[in-house]
Amino acid sequence: MSGWESYYKNEDDEEEEQEENLEGGGEYTYSGRDSLIFLVDASSAMFKSQDEDELTPFDMSIQCIKSVYTNKIISSDHDLLAVVFYGTKKDKNSVNFKNIYVLQELDNPGAKRVRELDQFKGQQGQKHFQDLIGGGCDYSLSEVLWVCANLFSDVQFKMSHKRIMLFTNEDDPHGDDSAKASRARTKAGDLRDTGIFLDLMHLKKRGGFDVSLFYRDIISMAEDEDLGIHFEESSKLEDLLKKVLAKETKKRVLSRLKLKLNKDIALTVGIYNMVQKAFRPPPIRLYRETNEPVKTKTRTFSVNTGSLLLPSDTKRSQIYGNRQIVLEKEETEQLRRFDDPGLILIGFKPLIMLKKHHFLRPSLFVYPEEALVNGSSTLFNALLTKCLEKEVVAVCRYTPRQNIPPRFVALMPQEEELDDQKFQVSPPGFQLVFLPYADDKRKVPVTEKVTANPEQVDKMKAIVQKLRFKYKSDSFENPVLQQHFRNLEALALDLMEPEAAVDLTLPKVEAMDKRLGCLVDEFKELVYPPDYNPEGKVPKRKQDDEGSRTKKPKVELSEEELKAHVSKGTLGKLTVPMLKEACKVYGLKGGLKKQELLDTLTRHFQD
Q: Is the pLDDT of residue 233 over 70?
A: no
Quick: pLDDT tens for 279-329: 777 788 898 889 898 988 888 898 888 899 888 888 888 887 778 888 887
Gap between the Cα atoms of 436 and 359, Å rounded? 8
Least trusted range by pLDDT, from 216-220, 262-266, 383-387, 405-409: 216-220
Q: Which has more confidence, 39 or 359?
A: 39
Report whether pLDDT(9) > 50: no
Q: Is the dihedral of CA 80, 86, 88, 90 positive or negative?
A: positive
Is the pLDDT reported for residue 14 higher than 70? no
Sign of the Cα pseudo-torsion (188, 192, 196, 201, in order): positive
Average pLDDT over residues 535-553: 53
Q: pLDDT above 70 covers what percent of the chain?
A: 84
Report which DSSP code applies to 70: H
**Contacts by 508-514, CB closer than 8 A, 24 or more apart:** 512/467
pTM here? 0.60
CB 230 within 8 A of CB 422: yes
pLDDT in tens, 443-473: 777 777 778 889 989 999 999 999 988 887 7
Angstrom distance (rounded) from CA 422 to CA 418? 5
Angle between helices 57-75 and 479-492 (to 10 degrees): 110
Q: What are phi and psi of 356, to 5 degrees?
A: -65, -30
Which of 47-56, 155-164, 169-178, 510-519 comes out lowest in average pLDDT?
47-56
pLDDT band at 15 (very low <50, low <70, confident <90, very high): very low
pLDDT of residue 296: 87
- Give the torsion through C-alpha atoms of 95, 98, 100, 101, to 10 deg: 80
pLDDT of residue 226: 40
The residue-averaged pLDDT of 68-73 equals: 80
User: What pLDDT, in 10s, does the model give residues 163-216?
Assistant: 898 999 888 888 888 899 899 999 999 998 888 888 888 887 777 788 888 888
DSSP 499: P
Count of Cβ atoms closer than 10 Å to residue 210 Cβ:
14
Average per-residue pLDDT in the chain? 80
Dmax (CA) of the chain: 104
Residue 338 has pLDDT above 50, yes or no: yes
pLDDT of residue 552: 46
**25-52 pLDDT, tens digit each:** 444 555 578 889 999 999 988 888 877 7
Query: Among 175-189, 365-379, 414-428, whose mean pLDDT is lowest?
Result: 414-428
